[in-house]
């Protein structure tokens, strides 16, 4: 694939993201060698603030798999995992990490690899696959694992309206329903259990005041990111998904730090300045796209390919836009259920003035790939928006069929560019 498919960053601030990521990993490395420094491997969704308050060094295997993929190193670990009998249809993130463990956690891996953990922490809010994958890693590494189980319910009613969600503010997660208070109680017990697990493993006591301060501080990053996403609705958009994927690391993994706050403040200023000067990603901006699903991390440059045709991927619906309610569809937006996902994409299309949607079909990710056809159907049936299903794994480059994908993208771009001439979301 070579360099051609590496992501091209348009914004100066995003270009500096890789320095921040490198610094972050360097600091982590320095810290991990300190005597008595506890190290955890976690999955996204584990409340970072508790880890920070207890000074536990956290590494994220799924994020690490994307690091390997974007540095052409994922195959090195996928191969030994498959040779041991882990099927090719298993989660790409999992195969990279299982292989990394089998290879003995090599330090010459990208970013110096991840250090041996003292324990693993996992939550059920992302997918069921992670539970099996982390359980297996804990077994291979011979370390304890804690599962913070968070029950999730579909909204009440057949089509999902009026689901009165109970939010557990502290954990920042959404569980249960009014008719299922037992599930909210369980989620809280799991959160308490997580704190006890950390305290037992590290011999440290959580300082509630310190946790509160970290929680307060980490709110800022979320607010800044939402604000930036609002600006992206502008025509022409000041920032597309290509830059946004690169820019998501500090928000996802470094909330509450000065570096993350400064990074997004700078990004916000640059985005505003681009709006003021009318600077888009392409000029003229012929058509606007949304990206649904996980990007192909070894091939982020695919997103820039549309720019050659005058198109821009304005928003991604997995990490980018946060949807609340909408009247455009019979279903209500939500984070994880299929119907909620469908409605979130419809909402993003209307809000961001989108002409077509790219559906990344990552066949090893059960939780996401299963939604994609329903998203495609609904976009066509309910709002007449074309979409393109692109099939490839998120970290395994051997699954990418370049010739076929490019041909389909070319045809789709023509279709969407034509459609964009009659775009009229404001009137609908």
Partner 1 sequence: MAEEFSRERELIGYFCDFVPEELLHAAGFTPIRITGTRKPVSLADRHLQSNVCSFARSCLELALDGTYAYLSGVVIPHSCDVITKMNDLWAYRVKRPDFCHYLWYPHKVNDPNARSAFIGEVRRLKSCLENLTENEISDVALQDSILLYNQNRRLLQQAYELRETNPPALSGTEAIEITLSSVLAPKEIHSRRLTRLLDSLKAHDHPGNARPRILVSAGVLDDTDLIETIEALGGAVVADDVCTGIRYFWGDVREGGDPIEAIADRYLNKIPCPRTFDSTARIDFLMDNITRYNVQGVIVYILRCCDAHLFQMPGLQERIKAGGVHLLHLQGDHSAPISEETRTRIAAFIEMMGD
Q: Interface with partner 1 by CB under 8 A: which residues?
A: 84-87, 89-91, 94, 124, 127-129, 131-133, 135-136, 139, 147, 149, 151-154, 158-160, 179-183, 185-186, 189-190, 193, 331, 337-339, 361, 363, 366-367, 369-374, 377
Minimal distance in Å, beta carbon 374 to partner 1? Answer: 6
Q: For partner 1, give the closer residue by CB, 265 or 391.
A: 391
Minimal distance in Å, beta carbon 121 to partner 1? Answer: 13
Q: For partner 1, give the closer residue by CB, 139 or 418.
A: 139
CA distance 311 to 237: 11
Q: For partner 1, give the closer residue by CB, 146 or 306.
A: 146
Cis upstream peptide for 284 (omega within 30°) = yes
Minimal distance in Å, beta carbon 343 to partner 1? Answer: 11
Minimal distance in Å, beta carbon 135 to partner 1? Answer: 6
Taking CA atoms, 36 is separated from 39, 71, 203, 300, in Å, by 9, 31, 11, 38
Q: Is residue 63 within 8 Å of residue 41, measured between CB atoms?
A: no
Minimal distance in Å, beta carbon 84 to partner 1? Answer: 5
Q: For partner 1, give the closer residue by CB, 338 or 417.
A: 338
Alpha helices in 232-352 (DSSP H): 241-253, 258-276, 302-305, 338-351
Q: For partner 1, give the closer residue by CB, 234 or 362.
A: 362
Backbone angles phi, psi at 287, to 5 degrees: -150, 155
Which region, left, alpha or beta, applies to residue 59 given φ > 0 means left and ψ of -120 to 50 means alpha? Answer: beta
Minimal distance in Å, beta carbon 57 to partner 1? Answer: 25
> For the chain, what is the largest distance between any 2 Cα atoms, rounded to a whole number of angstroms?
64
Q: For partner 1, give the closer residue by CB, 94 or 294.
A: 94
CA distance 66 to 282: 27
CA distance 252 to 233: 22
CA distance 43 to 207: 23
Which residues, 6 or more positions from 410, have their beta carbon under 8 angstroms from its beta carbon?
309
Closest CA to 297 of 24, 15, 71, 11: 71
Burial annotation 263-302 (CB, 10 A radius, 16+ → b, else e): bbeebbebbeebbeeeebbbeebbbbbbbbbbbbbbbbbb
Minimal distance in Å, beta carbon 55 to partner 1? Answer: 27
Minimal distance in Å, beta carbon 99 to partner 1? Answer: 12
| CA-based end-to-end distance of the chain | 42
Minimal distance in Å, beta carbon 375 to partner 1? Answer: 11
Q: For partner 1, give the closer residue by CB, 337 or 356.
A: 337
Q: For partner 1, give the closer residue by CB, 117 or 337.
A: 337
Q: For partner 1, give the closer residue by CB, 90 or 417.
A: 90
């Amino acid at each position: 694939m070579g360099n051609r498919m590496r992501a091209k960053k348009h914004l100066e601030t995003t270009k500096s993201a890789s320095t921040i990521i490198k610094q972050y990993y360097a600091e982590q490395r320095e810290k991990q060698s300190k005597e008595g420094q506890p190290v955890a491997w976690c999955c996204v969704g584990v409340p970072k603030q508790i880890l920070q308050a207890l000074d536990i060094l956290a590494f994220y295997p799924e994020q690490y798999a994307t690091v390997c993929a974007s540095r052409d190193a994922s195959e090195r670990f996928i191969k030994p995992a498959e040779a041991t009998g882990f099927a090719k249809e298993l989660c790409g993130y999992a195969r990279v990490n299982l292989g990394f463990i089998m290879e003995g956690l090599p330090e010459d891996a990208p970013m110096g690899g991840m250090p041996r953990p003292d324990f693993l922490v996992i939550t059920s809010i992302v997918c069921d696959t992670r539970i099996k994958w982390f359980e297996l890693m804990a077994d291979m590494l011979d370390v304890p694992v804690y599962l913070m189980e968070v029950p999730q319910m579909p909204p009440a009613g057949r089509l999902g309206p009026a689901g009165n969600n109970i939010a557990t503010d502290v954990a920042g997660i959404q569980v249960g329903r009014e008719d299922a208070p037992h599930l909210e109680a369980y989620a809280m017990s799991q959160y308490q259990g997580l704190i006890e697990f950390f305290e037992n493993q590290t011999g440290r006591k959580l300082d509630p005041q310190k946790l509160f301060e970290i929680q307060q501080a980490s709110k800022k990053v979320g607010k800044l990111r939402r604000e930036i996403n609002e600006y992206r609705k502008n025509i022409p958009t000041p920032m597309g998904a290509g830059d946004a994927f690169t820019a998501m690391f500090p928000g996802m993994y470094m909330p509450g730090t000065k570096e993350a706050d400064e990074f997004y403040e700078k990004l916000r200023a640059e985005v505003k300045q681009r709006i003021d000067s009318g600077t888009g990603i392409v000029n003229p901006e012929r058509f606007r796209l949304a990206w649904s699903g996980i990007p192909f991390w070894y091939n982020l440059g695919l997103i820039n390919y549309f720019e050659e045709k005058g198109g821009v991927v304005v928003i991604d619906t997995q990490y980018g836009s946060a949807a609340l309610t909408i009247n455009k569809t019979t279903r209500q937006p939500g984070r994880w259920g299929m119907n909620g996902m469908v409605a979130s994409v419809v909402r993003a299309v209307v809000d961001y003035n989108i002409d077509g949607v790219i559906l990344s079909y990552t066949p090893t990710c059960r939780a996401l790939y299963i939604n994609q056809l329903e998203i495609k159907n609904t976009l066509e049936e309910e709002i007449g928006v074309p979409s393109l299903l692109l099939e490839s794994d998120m970290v395994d480059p051997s699954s990418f069929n370049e010739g076929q994908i490019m041909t389909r993208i070319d045809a789709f771009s023509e279709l969407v560019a034509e459609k964009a001439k009659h775009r009229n979301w404001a009137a609908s």
